[in-house]
Structure 1
Amino acid sequence: MQKRLQKTALLVVMGAGFVTGSGAVAQEDPAAQCDAMRDIVFDSGHVTSARVMDAAAEAPAYCEIRATALPAIGIEVRLPLENWNGGYYQAGCGGFCGNLHGRGDLINSMVPGLVKGYATATSDSGHHGLSSVDAGWADGNPHAERDWGWRSIGETNRVAMVMIDAFYDSATSPAIFQGCSTGGRMAHMAALRYPDMFDGIISGAPALNETALVGTALAWQVQANTGPDGTPILKADKTDLIGDEVMRQCDDADGTKDGLIADPRACTVDLSVIGCEAGNADAQCLTPQEIEVVAKWRNPPVDSTGKVLAAAGIPAGSEPFWRTWLTGDGAGAPAINPLFGQAFGSYMAFPEDPGPSYSLLDFDFDRDPGRMAAAADMFNADDVDISAFRDAGGKMIVWHGWADAIVPPSMTTDWHARAEDAAGGAEALAQDVALYMIPGMDHCGLAAGPGGIARADIDPLTALENWLENGTAPDSIMVTDESEMR
């Protein structure tokens, strides 16, 4: 599939003098050429700034263009001043997004594309937020919710194509999208809503079903760990105890004792062996209440009839990361999962936003999943019918860490199994979609896990490039082939 740049708007370029199809600009003064990008006129938006950014580390010098796609999608485009490879790379964003800053490496960053010579772009998804867990922007704002849900993907691409055409006056190929977490959800949304837009898509730890995950599963986690007095039952001081016992019981479930749990589904953990004796509760044992919390976390949320509401059990082996996501660190830093759940329920989940008075303890597992139908239509990207993307020749890499404690890997393996059925079997889907499950990896590889595995150990972009070039799905996305995959 050869995606070619389409002119989607009237361009006015003052004093530019660009060269056609060379991958490099013609004038000797790159600052002047970049400055001229401020004068571009395009439909339903405007350029806000353009400046030359010097080469740094592995990244080349580039023209940084900031633009707004109306009503409020902030977009940044980076155009290499030399040695443009002719391609386009678009990055997703994380959490509730809300800024264009702080993306310095693989995860939801333009850097991987820029260092390889791609013209790159990303967006704030349509709003400004104070942090990735800030959803106050969505309060009574369905337009911003729409843009975060899906529209910012297409608008970022549209504006980037205008800038690329003006700067290089050349077609662009290949076109690649990469994102993790919310960015992974955006990757799937791109395949569903914009099936002809990208030649290749990389989806990491995708939050595919926002309402089932952030609306339902995170409420389940909080309610499971809240005692009658309203305080947490399981705290940070027990996470190492649990993690050590899980590793003791599961490390060699795959036949190899290597400090990694290859597939948590292959091991059933019995925490009663570290249970406290009657009348004794200290840091070296688990109370019955603490064991019950872990049991509920391991299993997906259900309603009062036992109906499963989300494929969202917390996997064995994720315990090293529980202080970040589930329990807080015990020294003042709160757990992140409840913050996301609280913000989503307050401002994004329901037809009428309850606001800051909302509590995850109020979530009703019989009533509230059905109340999120409108949000599901706008945010969820778990539809397995990506046939239009596949028919257009698109290739997709999906990866997920087995030790993810916020976006459970079971959500991705469940999607993949359903996608195989929809495609007519595993062999048919594998022609266009490849899944890689990574033992010991935290959410998006943000923190190093057992064996030191983190985001720096994977290179899905090179793997996808090779697939697009030679037509063969990669065996691995690891920087080295030392870790077991699949």
Structure 2
Amino acid sequence: MRVSWLALAVPFLAGAATSEMPARQPADDIDARCEALIGMEITPGTTIVAASHVPPSEGGSAPQAGAPPLPPLPGHCLAEGMIDPHQGADGTQYGIGFALALPDDWNGRFLLQGGGGMNGVVQPPIGPVAAGSNPALARGFAVLSHDSGHKGAVFDASFTRNQRAALDFAERAVRKAAERGKPITAHYYGREINHSYMTGCSTGGREGMLAMQRYPELFDGIVIGAPAMRPGFSNFGVEWAAVQFNQAAPRDADGLPIVSQIFSAADRETILKGMLDQCDALDGRADGMIMNVAQCNFQPARLQCTASKTDSCLSSPQVQALERAFAGAKDAAGYPAYTQIPYDTGIVNTDGPIPGYLPNGAPGVFGPASRALSVDVDARLQQLRADGNARLTDTHVWTNLSTFLGRQGKVMFFHGVSDPWFSAFDTWNYWQRAAEANGDAFTEASRFYMVPGMMHCAGGNAFDNFDLLAPLVDWVEKGVAPASIDAGREDSPARRPMCPHPAYAHFEGGDPDSAESYSCRQPAEINTPAPS
């Protein structure tokens, strides 16, 4: 199972474990030492309200209904507390709630765990993102998670009516959680932290970008997955696409589009087969996956029926809808409103709470499927640009990373090519602009990994089981820069190298299930969008 605690925003990415050399705590009464934290205000404005020792577990149980089972975890002190509590004008209580896991065998490292959605919940502090089947806590990291300053459902934004809560979510909570959690960690162990890290996907990815951009002294290394850099714009990209698809739909008696009938099951198979026919073998092997992302130049027009519509071809309205939807909207001056969307195998998916990019008529996490037939692009862009909360949370624009890079900070990005919420090209666009702004200092201190077939943070027909935390630690602490990353998939022995984009895993011959049968190659041509 690969369902996250944060509406798929914080997945497990199972992969190889890393070897650590933890420093065992002194053999005293760990229970008493842990409980002694209760009531402490180690830093002003931060109070620990609960603390108890958690014995080692073998895993298998879920922390809450609908969540995946926890992996095996070591014994640790679990401290829970509140940072800067305050009361809103309506009487609602706010403050940055947090949980800090302090392992019995600490390796000297601290990790801040990113959130998901609109946060609002303190998730189990284990550090699962891009850490394989061996999360950060199991490796000996002290791990802190937080709710970003409010309580509520994952996609409930009502807290933003409170100024302080909105500011905490937008940026302050990341800094405060790290700055307050580190002294607690050092106090508990009686020694300073050696290195600090952060990992997150979706909102957690945005929080990682926020830390890198605005608080460059906080962390030595950061893993950023599918970042929600500018969700208002990505949501508008989805809105635009829905309108284009609806224009190709049959209409009901009221003239409204019947969304469930835009693409039949046969149409989806035709689209999938067409993408694979045009792009699959570009990686040296036809295996049902598009590994050479940069060179894929899928042309829907080649699937258009030459006569009457059949199950093996697409109608002209369907082809035009695909072309417009994936190209993205442009404003009156011709500038992109949002980045292009990649053509990838997951766009035809119909299963799960977050299906692929093609509409199926089913309600999504934000409500019923859109039946709109038009949208005013410039008016919507004006609304987005005037949204104060969106401007505060935006991490798409800022590229001056001189302080982070000057401190020898390292960052690793990953993004599923089939992500139906945030375009992988948008994150790649940021990476390219950051490279332009910072030159070799950035390209030598960062890596970007496209994950073909992967949906939002995990899932899909993908090699989505990988570990970025171990190579990040080696990079920060040993100077060993990562290249390809060994990746696997659920319920399969097959392995494949994950290459820094735009390189891809090219089949060289031999056992197709062995990572050794592939090499990282540069594409013959690049069709991914240039930075804008």
Counterpart-to-counterpart distance in 2, 1:125 and 1:240: 42
Q: What are the superposed Cα offsets for residues 317-371 of structure 1, whole Å, 9 maximum, x if unpaired?
A: 33254653346896x96334x55999xxxxxxxxxxxxxxxx9888642123233
Q: What are the superposed Cα offsets for residues 386-435 of structure 1, whole Å, 9 maximum, x if unpaired?
A: 111001121111122223222111112111111111113xx432221122
Counterpart-to-counterpart distance in 1, 2:372 and 2:54: 44
* Alignment-derived partner of residue 468 in structure 1: 476
Contact kept in structure 2, 1:65 and 1:77, CA below 8 Å: yes
Contact kept in structure 2, 1:64 and 1:79, CA below 8 Å: yes
Contact kept in structure 2, 1:68 and 1:74, CA below 8 Å: yes
Contact kept in structure 2, 1:93 and 1:108, CA below 8 Å: no
Closer/same/farther in 2, CA of residues 436 and 235 from structure 1, 3 Å limit: same
Closer/same/farther in 2, CA of residues 440 and 328 from structure 1, 3 Å limit: closer
CA shift, 1:256, in A, is: 3.2
Structure 2 counterpart of 1:469, one-letter code: E
Counterpart-to-counterpart distance in 2, 1:48 and 1:157: 18
Closer/same/farther in 2, CA of residues 320 and 48 from structure 1, 3 Å limit: farther
* Alignment-derived partner of residue 316 in structure 2: 288
- Structure in which a larger fraction of residues adopt strand: 2
* Alignment-derived partner of residue 325 in structure 1: 355
- The one of 102, 106, 110 equivalent to 1:79 is 102
Asked if 1:411 is matched to 2:418, the reply is: no
Alignment of 1:41-440 (within 5 A): 41=41, 42-57=43-58, 58-71=72-85, 72-81=95-104, 83-101=105-123, 106-107=128-129, 112-130=135-153, 132-138=154-160, 140-214=161-235, 216-227=236-247, 229-232=256-259, 234-235=262-263, 237=265, 238-275=267-304, 280=309, 284-321=312-349, 323=351, 324-326=354-356, 334-336=363-365, 364-373=376-385, 374-382=388-396, 383-424=398-439, 427-440=440-453
What SS does the corresponding residue of 1:482 show, helix, strand or coil? strand
Structure 1 counterpart of 2:209, one-letter code: H
Contact kept in structure 1, 2:449 and 2:498, CA below 8 Å: no
Counterpart-to-counterpart distance in 2, 1:404 and 1:151: 28
CA shift, 1:226, in A, is: 3.0
Closer/same/farther in 2, CA of residues 340 and 303 from structure 1, 3 Å limit: farther
Closer/same/farther in 2, CA of residues 204 and 340 from structure 1, 3 Å limit: farther
What SS does the corresponding residue of 1:70 show, helix, strand or coil? strand
Counterpart-to-counterpart distance in 2, 1:288 and 1:181: 35
What SS does the corresponding residue of 1:225 show, helix, strand or coil? helix
CA shift, 1:104, in A, is: 7.3
Closer/same/farther in 2, CA of residues 230 and 65 from structure 1, 3 Å limit: farther
Contact kept in structure 2, 1:329 and 1:335, CA below 8 Å: no
Counterpart-to-counterpart distance in 2, 1:188 and 1:479: 24
Closer/same/farther in 2, CA of residues 177 and 409 from structure 1, 3 Å limit: same
Counterpart-to-counterpart distance in 1, 2:205 and 2:40: 31
Structure 1 counterpart of 2:76, one-letter code: Y
Aligned-residue Cα RMSD (Å) equals: 3.1
Counterpart-to-counterpart distance in 2, 1:189 and 1:178: 12
Contact kept in structure 1, 2:115 and 2:204, CA below 8 Å: yes
Counterpart-to-counterpart distance in 1, 2:399 and 2:146: 26
Closer/same/farther in 2, CA of residues 284 and 267 from structure 1, 3 Å limit: same
Closer/same/farther in 2, CA of residues 162 and 207 from structure 1, 3 Å limit: same
Single out whichever of 315-324 and 392-401 deviates more from structure 2: 315-324
CA shift, 1:178, in A, is: 0.6
Closer/same/farther in 2, CA of residues 477 and 90 from structure 1, 3 Å limit: farther
Contact kept in structure 2, 1:96 and 1:133, CA below 8 Å: yes
Contact kept in structure 1, 2:128 and 2:136, CA below 8 Å: no
User: TM-score normalized by structure 2?
Assistant: 0.74
Q: What are the superposed Cα offsets for residues 180-206 of structure 1, whole Å, 9 maximum, x if unpaired?
A: 111111111001111011011111122
Closer/same/farther in 2, CA of residues 35 and 235 from structure 1, 3 Å limit: farther
Q: What are the superposed Cα offsets for residues 284-303 of structure 1, whole Å, 9 maximum, x if unpaired?
A: 54333332332223112212
Closer/same/farther in 2, CA of residues 22 and 428 from structure 1, 3 Å limit: closer
Counterpart-to-counterpart distance in 2, 1:329 and 1:369: 23
Closer/same/farther in 2, CA of residues 325 and 142 from structure 1, 3 Å limit: farther
Contact kept in structure 2, 1:175 and 1:199, CA below 8 Å: yes
User: TM-score normalized by structure 1?
Assistant: 0.80
Counterpart-to-counterpart distance in 1, 2:384 and 2:122: 29
Q: Please, which runs of 5 or more residues in structure 1 have no aligned partner?
A: 1-20, 343-358
Contact kept in structure 2, 1:204 and 1:399, CA below 8 Å: yes
Contact kept in structure 2, 1:48 and 1:67, CA below 8 Å: yes
What SS does the corresponding residue of 1:106 show, helix, strand or coil? coil
Counterpart-to-counterpart distance in 2, 1:312 and 1:339: 24
* Alignment-derived partner of residue 483 in structure 1: 497
- Give the paired residue count: 435
Q: What are the superposed Cα offsets for residues 5-63 of structure 1, whole Å, 9 maximum, x if unpaired?
A: xxxxxxxxxxxxxxxx96515522x2222221112124223223212222123320111
Structure 2 counterpart of 1:118, one-letter code: F
CA shift, 1:231, in A, is: 4.0
Single out whichever of 221-230 and 247-256 deviates more from structure 2: 221-230
Closer/same/farther in 2, CA of residues 76 and 360 from structure 1, 3 Å limit: farther
Structure 1 counterpart of 2:453, one-letter code: G
Structure 2 counterpart of 1:229, one-letter code: L
Q: Please, which runs of 5 or more residues in structure 2 have no aligned partner?
A: 1-21, 59-71, 86-94, 248-254, 489-494, 501-532
Contact kept in structure 2, 1:325 and 1:406, CA below 8 Å: no
- Structure in which a larger fraction of residues adopt helix: 1
